[in-house]
Structure 1
Amino acid sequence: MFGSDRLLDVAIMMIERTHRVENLETSELAAMLAGPEPPLLFDIRTAGEYEKSHIETAIRIEPDIGQDDFETLYAALMAGRDIVLYCSVGQRSSELLERVESARGKTGAKSCRNLRGGIFRWYNEGRPVVDASGTTDDIHGYDPVWAVMVERRR
């Protein structure tokens, strides 16, 4: 039987075969967030998913935002910064990264990467997530099929 980590690994492998974007490991993101120049972090999930929990400092973006709207809303924030996008496992954030990839050059962002394994990998590794009240041990599973990739905290 497959455990949640193994299922997540399979999902990541399939996403990476379909979407050729640059990925960032969760350990790299953790180090960047703790460093002197943290990246600009975008959460590419629904409002309900984000409200349940997200990585601290993340800005939520609608998964279907177009390149023009993305540039208009966020270009000034992106200048000179590393950009990291994430969703549950990496599918929606990879799709968005492909759509807005040319924005990097227009905005002067240093890098634009996808968080490999998304918030599910981040959460499964015991890294912190927050809601409106602060740190939480809860996470939105997206749907019953994808939720099996989440290791519930006790």
Structure 2
Amino acid sequence: MSSSESSWLDIIGLGMKFVISTVASKFPAVQNVDTKQLAEWLNSSDRDVALLDCRDPREYEVSYMPGSVRVEWKREDVDQLVESLPVMNREGPAKKTIVCYCSLGYRSSALANKIQNHLKKSDNPKKVEVYNLAGSIFKWANEGRPLLNSEGQKTKLCHPYTPMWSRLLNKELHQW
């Protein structure tokens, strides 16, 4: 790797850290999980994880995290969303966990916050942990973690959301 490529990756890393901390400060009640921890949860029987992709359909069509379901992040019927998740209806000892993601974390944090507020008000006896994926799909893709395209085939590509935010996604991963 050339020094200019290394410098560019350092800039992406610093930008990502800044965005993650800014989003976390905007949604202080929302817990964050990092990509490494989520990957461990997805490969463990200790957690029953529902992955919610909070991006627009055009972003989801390029790629998504395996096992995720695309949802509208601005939706108001959070009660219906939560009750429709298979994780809410499965029995067993595994911790029930909802992880929301988008491109970088703002939209997913907003939805995670709505879900947390709903669960606090509801009389549902099931303990459910709700998280935002810190750095969301950009961080996941930058780390070379698994993604699928609209045909269910493995891909490394990711929709860069907007030209401004695309700077936090490795250039070779861009697909508009």
Give the TM-score normalised by structure 2: 0.79
**Per-residue deviation, 1:47:** 0.5
Residues 74-120 of structure 1 show CA distances to partners (whole Å, capped at 9, x for unaligned) of 31424262110011111011111222213334342420011011011
The answer to whether the 8 Å contact 1:83/1:109 transfers is no
1:84 counterpart (78, 90, 99): 99
- The whole-number CA distance in structure 2 between the counterparts of 1:109 and 1:130 is 30
**Does 2:42 correspond to 1:33?**
yes
Unmatched 5+ residue regions in structure 1?
none
Unmatched 5+ residue regions in structure 2?
1-6, 89-94
The answer to whether the 8 Å contact 2:60/2:150 transfers is no
Match for residue 150 of structure 1?
169
Match for residue 121 of structure 1?
139
Match for residue 44 of structure 1?
54
CA RMSD of aligned residues (A): 1.9
Residues 37-59 of structure 1 show CA distances to partners (whole Å, capped at 9, x for unaligned) of 44001001100111110101111
Match for residue 114 of structure 2?
99
Match for residue 79 of structure 2?
71
2:72 counterpart (62, 67, 78): 62
- The whole-number CA distance in structure 2 between the counterparts of 1:63 and 1:128 is 23
Which of these two proteins has the greater Rg computed from alpha carbons?
2
Identity over aligned residues, as a percent? 30
The answer to whether the 8 Å contact 1:89/1:119 transfers is yes
- The whole-number CA distance in structure 1 between the counterparts of 2:83 and 2:24 is 26
